Amino acid sequence: MDTTFKGAAKRITALDIPRIGAMVGVGEDEIHAFMDVEAAGSGFDAKGRPKLLFEPHVFYRNLAGAKRTAAVKAGLAYSKWGAKPYPKDSYPRLVAAMAIDETAALKSASWGLTQILGENFKAAGCGSVQAMVQAFMADEAAHLEATVKLLVAWKVDDDLRAHRWPVVAQTWNGPGYKKNRYDSKLAAAFAKWQKIRDTPWPPKARAPAVVAAEELSAELAAGASVEPDTAPPAVDKATIERVQQQLKDLGYTEVGGVSGVGGTMTSAAIRAFRAENGLPEGDEIDDALLLALQKAKPRVLAPARTNAPPEVVREKVPEVRTNWLAKVGAFFTTIAALIGSFFDGIIGNLGPASGYIQPVKDAAGDVPGWVWMLAIAGVAGGLFLVARHGEKKGVEAFQSGERR
């Protein structure tokens, strides 16, 4: 590992504080109060290295055998705290201890903004103590993120949210917290920050130039000489991933995959969660949403509705115009009259002398009734056949129009 311990040394910004607070469901007032009391002012020393306090008694317990003997002989390890005064700069002792055992040495130092002991690297969310130190060299925000992860691991994040300052102070400082009145200091610092206007989070409605100016003012007030950053993303990838996974676990499957990139599906799931849990409308990832996600119970969906039966559409029956039938009827009526005249006159006048048609008149000289019945039956049958044919053609014409 690079023993100069110099990285980017990026200072924390005004937006980092509410962003990191939202990770555990608190606002920036709680984080500011914790930093005022428990932080060492800045996470970096005058040389741009993470602030460091090497603890020889911790190095002692992280060694055994020949390594411990060598460390004790070199004055780098002893069994009890306070055996010797600490030097102003711990880095020379740390580098010497690393020559004996790098990992044990890094674990035996308190690092950064809130002086997190290297032994706690796992609880602080890091894969190794070396990874934690590398992150601390790069960005002061990493110091604060590790701090809130440690509070979660130690199960006092709820005490921070409830402002139970004695619990927070004792957990962070040990049983001697009362001697230094850390709980009272935390309460006083929180009361102070409650009177100061918060930085909006997430900063959707704020122009990048305004954000950069406020960050620059905050950093200059802390004694730094920096250039304003461009506006950072509204929510970091890790937070988006956590929100997506929580929504998915709670049954909001519309969120899709866990990608760390917000989009339409994530927004839809957030809106649904907000609507079903009494939160204000919107798709913002804010502290209220993060807190609600931690406390929410899995979603209970109503049973799926079966499809309704298809609507019954009555078959359309065409109305076939029959005006022409009246004309045909009149025509056949005329034919019937002519037939009557035929039987009554022409046929009878032919007489038996013609040799072709025998008279069909009865003794009284009239045409018999059966002849009229036969004529009427013939006309009726013809009308029926013509009507059926016309109806069939009319229906076919209608259906042809329907298909068009």
Inter-helix orientation angle 140-153/28-38, to 10°: 100
With 0-12 / 13-18 / 19 or more C-beta atoms within 10 angstroms meaning exposed / middle / buried, residue 393 is: exposed
Q: How crowded is residue 160: how many other Cβ atoms within 10 Å of its Cβ?
A: 25
Span 294-318, average pLDDT: 53
At residue 6, the pLDDT reads 93
Percent of the chain with pLDDT over 70: 66
The pLDDT value recorded for residue 251 is 87
With 70 as the cut, is the pLDDT of residue 302 above it? Answer: no
Q: Which residues contact 211 (CB under 8 A, 6 or more apart)?
A: 14, 15, 203, 231
Name 53's bridge partners: 110
For residues 317-334, average pLDDT: 52
What is the pLDDT of the chain when averaged over all its residues?
A: 78
**CA distance linking residue 354 with residue 332, whole number of Å:** 29
DSSP 189: H
The values of phi and psi at residue 32, to 5°, are: -60, -45
- 301 or 220, which is more confident? 301
pLDDT in tens, 82-98: 767 788 899 999 999 99
Mean pLDDT of 42-56: 94
How do the domains of the chain map onto residue ranges?
16-203, 237-295, 323-403
390-399 contacts, C-beta under 8 A, 24 or more apart: 390/320, 390/322, 390/324, 390/325, 391/320, 394/318, 394/320, 394/321, 395/318, 395/320, 398/318, 398/320, 399/318
d(CA 93, CA 298): 52
Q: What is the 3-state secondary structure (H, E, C) of 17-79?
A: HHHHHHCCCCCHHHHHHHHHHHCCCCCECCCCCECEEECHHHHHHCCCHHHHHHHHHCCCCCC
**pLDDT exceeds cutoff 80 at 181:** yes
Distance (Å, whole) CA 86 – CA 90: 8
Q: At what angle do helices 182-194 and 165-173 cross, to 10 degrees?
A: 130
pLDDT digits 0-9 by tens, 220-253? 455 544 443 443 445 788 888 888 888 888 988 8
Confidence band of 390 (pLDDT split at 50, 70, 90): low
Q: What is the CA radius of gyration of the chain?
A: 49
Note the pLDDT of residue 261. Answer: 82
Contact, 26 vs 287, CB < 8 A?
yes
Structure tokens at 40: 């060492």
pTM exceeding the 0.75 threshold for the entire prediction: no
What three-state secondary structure class fits 110?
A: strand
Residue 125 clears pLDDT 60, i.e. is over it? yes
Name the pLDDT band for 388 (thresholds 50, 70, 90): low
Structure tokens at 92: 């020379």
How far is Cα 285 from Cα 246, in angstroms, rounded to an integer?
Answer: 12
How far, in Å, CA of 320 to CA of 115, rounded?
96
How much is the pLDDT for 230?
A: 41
Q: Which structure tokens are listed for 110?
A: 């308190």
* DSSP state letter for 297: P
* Residue 184's pLDDT band (cuts 50, 70, 90): very high
- Per-residue pLDDT tens digits for 126-166: 999 999 999 999 999 999 999 999 999 999 999 999 999 99
Q: Which two tokens stand for residue 228?
A: 């304003």
- Tell me the pLDDT tens digit for each residue of 334-384: 655 555 555 555 444 444 444 444 444 455 555 555 666 666 666 666 666
Instruction: Choose the weakest-confidence range: 17-21, 27-31, 66-70, 79-83.
Output: 79-83
Q: Give the burial string for 232-243 (b: 16+ CB within 10 Å, else e).
A: bebbbeebbebb
**pLDDT for res 199:** 84
> Is a pLDDT exceeding 80 seen at residue 401?
no
Pairing of strands 109-111, 52-54: antiparallel
Least confident of 154-158, 171-175, 292-296: 292-296
